[in-house]
Amino acid sequence: MTVHPPTDDRRWGGRLPLAEAGTLDQEQRAVAEQLHLFAVPWAQQAGFTPTTDDGYLIGPWNVLVHRPQPARGFNEWVKADQVGSSLPATVREVVILTVGVAWQAGYELYAHTAVARHVGTAGPVIDGVLNHAPNDDFSVAELAAHRFTDELVRARTVTDETYGRTLEVFGQRGVIDMVHLIGIYLATSALLNAFEIPTPDAGCL
């Protein structure tokens, strides 16, 4: 998949240089190698672009390479969530996209729209999340996850009614897993937005 420059001609790092285009220290190199080993194949399989044509990491991964110590902790959190989550894959993507919409995190929406399709999330469900307009195609679980996530992210709290409904659908473990997933993608959205990380334009998809 070919990566084209953003329409505004900014570097792919946004406000940051591409870390791999410079000189990496030992810790940075180790983080970059891990991301190339695990994140890049996952992204490519899902159908979105994780690197430039020269193989430099883009998106949130470039930010992580710049600061390897917190990157390692963040990656461990992501791995633990992925391995141990009780949430179905389609529900996870509803949660992630809901966070991305609330934060208007372009690369997150670009990437996880592709992931959502890859794991089998229905097109009308994806459109409903992206347009902040849930519809009849949402399953009971998808709707509960969307409402819980949207309320927590936008209002920074959850009503008893919303919490009770989510607990009924997912159980205590599922609610905890959902909050962890929300936290991961709130952090990801913050990295993307703070550094104005570009998103591949529609002609590249």
| Cα 182 from Cα 100, distance rounded (Å) | 10
Looking at per-residue pLDDT, the higher value among 3 and 122 belongs to: 122
- The separation between CA 7 and the C-alpha centre of its own chain, rounded to angstroms, equals 22
| Cβ atoms 3, 204 nearer than 8 A | yes
On the question of pLDDT at 5 being above 50, the answer is no
The letter for the amino acid at 75 is N
The three-state secondary structure class of 181 is helix
69-120 pLDDT per residue, tens: 999 999 999 999 989 899 999 999 999 999 999 999 999 999 999 999 999 9
The dihedral region occupied by 109, where left means phi > 0, alpha psi between -120 and 50, and beta the remainder, is alpha
- Count Cα neighbours of 128 within 13 Å in the Cβ-side half-sphere: 20
Query: Is the confidence at residue 7, as pLDDT, over 50?
Result: no
Q: What tokens appear for 157 in the block?
A: 């709290």
Considering only residues 143 and 1, tell me which one the structure prediction assigns the higher pLDDT.
Answer: 143
Reported confidence tier of residue 1, pLDDT bands at 50, 70, 90:
very low
Q: Which helix (H) or strand (E) holds 192?
A: helix 160-194
Q: Is the pLDDT of residue 3 over 70?
A: no
The tokens describing 12, both together, are 């792919």
pLDDT tens-digit readout, 122-177 = 999 999 999 999 999 999 999 999 999 999 999 999 999 999 999 999 999 999 99
- Cα separation, 105 vs 103, in Å, equals 5
Determine the average pLDDT of the residues in 25-48: 97
What pLDDT shows up at residue 201?
A: 63
Instruction: Give the angle 72-81-68 at the CA atoms, nearest 5°.
Output: 10
Instruction: Band the pLDDT of 8: cuts 50, 70, 90.
Output: very low
**Which residue would you say has higher pLDDT here, 111 or 10?**
111
Is the pLDDT at 6 greater than 80, yes or no?
Answer: no
pTM for the model stands at: 0.92
What is d(CA 141, CA 139) in angstroms, rounded to the nearest whole number? 5
Distance CA 21, CA 169 (A): 47
Residue ranges of domains in the chain, CATH in brackets: 24-82+196-204 (no CATH), 87-193 (1.20.1290.10)
